[in-house]
C-alpha cells in the first residue's frame, strides 16, 4: 500500500489507545471494508510500515504491507465487476478520511517486507526563512523562520552527516536498538522562484509580465506561482532513521544557519554521540516522508534478513 497523508491531525503513525493515528485509522477502515471484526485473532489486519512518522509529520511516499486471505479480499468486490485488489482500492479511498490518500495498492512480491526490505528512505524538511515570502496555504507543511538563514553554513554542517555514524547526539534508540545509521546524502537547497508557466526570477514577483508561454495561454501580466518557490529545503537520504534524528539534525543546522552555533560545535556533536540537551527536535510540521526505495524482487528477502542484524561502527 502506497500512502500519502497530512500528519497535522494525527498523533503519529503508530497505533495508540484513544488517540487518532495513521495506522489506527487505516486499520479501522480495512476492518470495515473487508468486513473483518476488529478483535479477529485469526486475521488481525495489522500494517507493517516503511517509516514510523512522529506526531505532526507528513508523508507523500509512505509504504506499508499487510497479510490478508484471498477469501477475505474477495468479499470486498460486491457488485463491482473488477478484480479484488481494484475493488479494495476503490472502497478504501471512498472511506478513508480526507487527510489520507491511498496512492497505490498491489500484491507484494515474495519476500517483501515494507520495513526491513527497504534500501533507503528520504525525508525533506521545508523552511520559509527571511529570504522568501511564505505562502499561507503552506502553513501546515512549512516552518517559518523570520531571519535569513546562511545556507552555505548549513550545507557544510549537513555534509558532516554523510556516511556511517553514531547519531546519538541527535536521536534516541529504540529499546535494544542503536543510533548508528548510514546517511547516503544530506543537503540544503533553495527552491528556484518559479511560476507555473516558467521562471519568474528571484524578486520579480507574481504581477510581472510573465513568459511568452504564459501570454500564449491568455495570462498576460500574471504568472501563476509555484507554491514551493523560494523555500529552503533539507533533503536527507539514509538506510534508516532513529527516533527524532531528522528533526534534531535540522534544528542543529538552523542554529548554525542563524550563526548561534559554529561548524566546530556541529562537528563536536558528530564526534561525541551523546545527548546533552542543547538541540532537541525542531517543529514537526515542516517534515515530510518523501520516498522509500526497494531492491529488485529477487533480493527482497535477503535484504530483509540482513537489515535485521544489529549495526556497529567499524573499529578505527
Looking at the structure, do residues 147 and 23 belong to the same domain, yes or no?
Answer: no
Looking at the structure, do residues 128 and 186 belong to the same domain, yes or no?
Answer: yes
Looking at the structure, do residues 26 and 126 belong to the same domain, yes or no?
Answer: no
* Confidence at residue 260, expressed as pLDDT on a 0 to 100 scale: 95
* Confidence at residue 193, expressed as pLDDT on a 0 to 100 scale: 83
**206 domain residue, yes or no:** no
Min mean pLDDT across 112-116, 164-168, 175-179 is at 175-179
Looking at the structure, do residues 180 and 240 belong to the same domain, yes or no?
Answer: yes
**213 domain residue, yes or no:** no
* Confidence at residue 210, expressed as pLDDT on a 0 to 100 scale: 45
Quote the radius of gyration of the chain (alpha carbons, Å): 22
Looking at the structure, do residues 42 and 14 belong to the same domain, yes or no?
Answer: yes
Which residue among 104, 139, 174 closes a domain? 104
Please, what is the average pLDDT of the chain?
Answer: 88
* Nearest Cα residue to 7 out of 116, 107, 125, 110: 125
* Confidence at residue 304, expressed as pLDDT on a 0 to 100 scale: 85
Looking at the structure, do residues 267 and 176 belong to the same domain, yes or no?
Answer: yes
User: Residue range 274-290: average pLDDT?
Assistant: 88
Min mean pLDDT across 7-16, 197-206, 263-272 is at 197-206
**Domain at 82, CATH number:** 3.30.70.580
Tally of structural domains, the chain: 2
**111 domain residue, yes or no:** no
- The pTM assigned to this predicted structure is 0.89
Q: Which are the catalytic amino acids? A: 54
**Domain at 182, CATH number:** 3.30.70.660
User: Residue range 112-116: average pLDDT?
Assistant: 94
Looking at the structure, do residues 154 and 244 belong to the same domain, yes or no?
Answer: yes
Which residue among 60, 77, 104 closes a domain? 104
Q: What is the band of 205 on the pLDDT scale with cuts at 50, 70, 90?
A: very low
Q: What is the band of 59 on the pLDDT scale with cuts at 50, 70, 90?
A: very high
**205 domain residue, yes or no:** no
* Confidence at residue 198, expressed as pLDDT on a 0 to 100 scale: 62
pLDDT of 207 higher than 50: no
**69 domain residue, yes or no:** yes
Which residue among 71, 104, 137 closes a domain? 104
* Confidence at residue 78, expressed as pLDDT on a 0 to 100 scale: 84
User: Residue range 261-284: average pLDDT?
Assistant: 89
pLDDT of 306 higher than 50: yes
Looking at the structure, do residues 286 and 149 belong to the same domain, yes or no?
Answer: yes
**208 domain residue, yes or no:** no
* Confidence at residue 274, expressed as pLDDT on a 0 to 100 scale: 82
pLDDT of 165 higher than 50: yes
Looking at the structure, do residues 67 and 187 belong to the same domain, yes or no?
Answer: no
User: Residue range 27-41: average pLDDT?
Assistant: 90
* Confidence at residue 200, expressed as pLDDT on a 0 to 100 scale: 52
CA pair distance 54, 51, nearest whole angstrom: 10
Q: What is the band of 168 on the pLDDT scale with cuts at 50, 70, 90?
A: very high
73-106 pLDDT, tens per residue? 998 888 889 999 999 999 999 999 999 999 999 9
**202 domain residue, yes or no:** no
Domain interval for residue 152: 120-191+228-294
* Confidence at residue 220, expressed as pLDDT on a 0 to 100 scale: 57
Q: How far is CA 170 from CA 141, 237, 253, 266, in A?
A: 22, 16, 11, 11
pLDDT of 216 higher than 60: no
pLDDT of 181 higher than 60: yes
**13 domain residue, yes or no:** yes
Amino acid at each position: 500500500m502506497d500512502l500519502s497523508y497530512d500528519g497535522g491531525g494525527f498523533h503519529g503513525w503508530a497505533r495508540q489507545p484513544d488517540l487518532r493515528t495513521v495506522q489506527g485509522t487505516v486499520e479501522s477502515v480495512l476492518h470495515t471494508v473487508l468486513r473483518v471484526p476488529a478483535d479477529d485473532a485469526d486475521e488481525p489486519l495489522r500494517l507493517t510500515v516503511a517509516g514510523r512518522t512522529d506526531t505532526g509529520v507528513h508523508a507523500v511516499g509512505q509504504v506499508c504491507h499487510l497479510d490478508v486471505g484471498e477469501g477475505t479480499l474477495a468479499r470486498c468486490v460486491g457488485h463491482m465487476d473488477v478484480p479484488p485488489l481494484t475493488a479494495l482500492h476503490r472502497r478504501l479511498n471512498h472511506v478513508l478520511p480526507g487527510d489520507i490518500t491511498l496512492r497505490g495498492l498491489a500484491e507484494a512480491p515474495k519476500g517483501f517486507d515494507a520495513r526491513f526490505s527497504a534500501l533507503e528512505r528520504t525525508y525533506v524538511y521545508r523552511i520559509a526563512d527571511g529570504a522568501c515570502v511564505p505562502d499561507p496555504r503552506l502553513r501546515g507543511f512549512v516552518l517559518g523562520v523570520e531571519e535569513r538563514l546562511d545556507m552555505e553554513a548549513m550545507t557544510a554542517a549537513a555534509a558532516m552527516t554523510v556516511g556511517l555514524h553514531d547519531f546519538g547526539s541527535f536521536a534516541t534508540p529504540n529499546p535494544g536498538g542503536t543510533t548508528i545509521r548510514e546517511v547516503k546524502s544530506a543537503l540544503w537547497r533553495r527552491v528556484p522562484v518559479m511560476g507555473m508557466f516558467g521562471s519568474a526570477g528571484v524578486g520579480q514577483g507574481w504581477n510581472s509580465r510573465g513568459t511568452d508561454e504564459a501570454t500564449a495561454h491568455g495570462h498576460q501580466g500574471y504568472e501563476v506561482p509555484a507554491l514551493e518557490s523560494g523555500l529552503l529545503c533539507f533533503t536527507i537520504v539514509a538506510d534508516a532513521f532513529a527516533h527524532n534524528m531528522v528533526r534534531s539534525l535540522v534544528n542543529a543546522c538552523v542554529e548554525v544557519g542563524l550563526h548561534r552555533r559554529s561548524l566546530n560545535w556541529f562537528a563536536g556533536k558528530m564526534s561525541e554521540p551523546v545527548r546533552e540537551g542543547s538541540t532537541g527536535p525542531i517543529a514537526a510540521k515542516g517534515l515530510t516522508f518523501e520516498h522509500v526505495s526497494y531492491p529488485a524482487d529477487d533480493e527482497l528477502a535477503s535484504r530483509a534478513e540482513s537489515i535485521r542484524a544489529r549495526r556497529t561502527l567499524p573499529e578505527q
